[in-house]
Amino acid sequence: MAKIIFSLSFLLMGLVHFSYGQQKCGFDDFVNNNPVLKSDLIKHTEEFKAYQKQNNLRRLYTYNYDTTYVIKVVFHVLYNTPQQNIPDSCIMTQMDVLNEDFNRTNPDTINTRDIFKPVAGKLKFKFVLAGKDPNGNPHSGIVRKTTSISVFSQTSGGDYDSRMKFNTQGGSDAWNTDEYLNIWVCNMFTPQSGLLGYATPPTGAVNWPSNVQFSKAQQGASVHYYTVGRYNPNATANGSNSLGRTCTHELGHYFGLFHTWGLRSNTCNVATDDFLEDTPNTSSPNSGCNSNRNSCQWNEPGDLPDMVENYMDYTRGSCQNTFTEDQAAMMLFNMKTYRPTLYELELEQDSTFVGNIAIKPVLLSNPGNRLIIGADNYSNTIFSVSIFNNIGQTIIKDKDIVLDKPFEFIASSFYNYGHYIVRVTNQTTGEEEILKWSNASLF
């Protein structure tokens, strides 16, 4: 019975998409049709809520804005026709869109209504095309392959097509999904599927069975080829108005966000909404850009309309311009908890320390629990390094190093998560630099 209902709603959503040009993604169907995934996701969301409550989320959110999270991206472009082999410019502008949208440096933030500006969220995520392949060889970060498959939109038991993720099935094998964000670009849309993309949420990273969708080899996002980038030559021809925001939306799911209406449409039940406080309760997807719709009216002062400018709605790309703070914090929490090796940290030097700019030691890539320090043009200079934890205890005292190449500290004490202060002293000049470092676990 459940399956019949699912199929019907799936078909209806496809039709809705086709009629109104509404964005459609596979997340709800996927989750509702996978009980284990669904309970896992809800469990993780509850963990986040508990964490949010315990740690006064917004304060932490602000604090962590000092840290840049660098995420390596690989695109797999699968084409059955020349049009589907989208040009590099689409990928480049897609990267721009992702970096702008996640960092809230997009030019259309001015369109966020005043009622939502106080909760507009941003993350210091830096998406970069992978400069090397998994073997360490130079690479553009764009894999292109022809495919005999004309459209990747098979559904089986409610699961979406995953053939694009496997060489043996007409797709392209993922690069290690623990270290790379894989984005597959292919032909997905049919009037019946209405599908513009889907993504694997961060769940089951440890215990997720390997024989089901969302296994390690499938982690990432899949997007329809004409949604990619800002000036996609196929977009106009096909009436697409994504402007690259399908990918932003799908990465929202990849980092664990629900749609603004939650998992179940057509209800204002807060228990089935998106679990977040700062996205207004919403009963069902919005299309176009109707700023007057208030799908869940409480007849109370302060009741807000639907947040059509949210990336996790189905509104057109030009209507969308923001995540919320809770969404941003939830994405960060999910990445740090369930995708802990996906990113490298790039910390800024403490802006309050202005004394000795002659030394420029920097924290380099910090995957996992590694602390790596480097400095340019100091090949003959001895630095002494001390490391303190966040309650002032000395972890490493006056270790002398020459920073002629990046130096890596591996200390068991770093496996405790938290913030550390790294003091680097130039032994020749006595100048000091203070760096902040956080390990790769929780905040």
DSSP 71: E
Residue closer to Zn ion (CB basis): 323 or 378: 323
Q: Are the C-beta atoms of 14 and 194 separated by less than 8 Å?
A: yes
CB of 314 to Zn ion, least distance (A): 8
Q: Are the C-beta atoms of 185 and 147 separated by less than 8 Å?
A: no
Distance between CA atoms of residues 412 and 393, nearest Å: 15
Catalytic residue check, 325: no
Picking from 296, 262, 267, 232, the residue whose alpha carbon sits closest to that of residue 84 is 232
Catalytic residue among 100, 250, 344, 346: 250
Amino acid at 264: R
Amino acid at 413: S
CB of 30 to Zn ion, least distance (A): 9
Q: Are the C-beta atoms of 158 and 34 separated by less than 8 Å?
A: yes
Binding site for Zn ion (CB under 5 A): 25, 27
Distance between CA atoms of residues 212 and 215, nearest Å: 6
Residue closer to Zn ion (CB basis): 261 or 407: 261
Q: How far is CA 136 from the centre of its chain?
A: 24
CB of 68 to Zn ion, least distance (A): 26
CB of 191 to Zn ion, least distance (A): 19
CB of 330 to Zn ion, least distance (A): 15
Structure tokens at 11: 């078909």
Strand blocks (E) in 219-367:
221-224, 323-324, 343-347, 361-363
CB of 25 to Zn ion, least distance (A): 3
Residue-by-residue DSSP string for 179-221: T-EEEEEE----TTT---EEE--S--TTT--TTSTT-GGG-SE
Residue closer to Zn ion (CB basis): 171 or 252: 252
Strand blocks (E) in 44-138:
67-79, 120-121, 125-129
Residue closer to Zn ion (CB basis): 93 or 320: 320
**CA torsion through residues 232, 237, 242, 247, sign:** negative
Q: How far is CA 237 from the centre of its chain?
A: 29
Residue closer to Zn ion (CB basis): 25 or 363: 25
Distance between CA atoms of residues 193 and 10, nearest Å: 8
CB of 9 to Zn ion, least distance (A): 15
Residue with the shortest CB distance to Zn ion: 25
Query: Is residue 329 classed as helix, strand or coil in its secondary structure?
Result: helix
Residue closer to Zn ion (CB basis): 24 or 76: 24
Residue closer to Zn ion (CB basis): 27 or 214: 27
Known catalytic residues are: 250
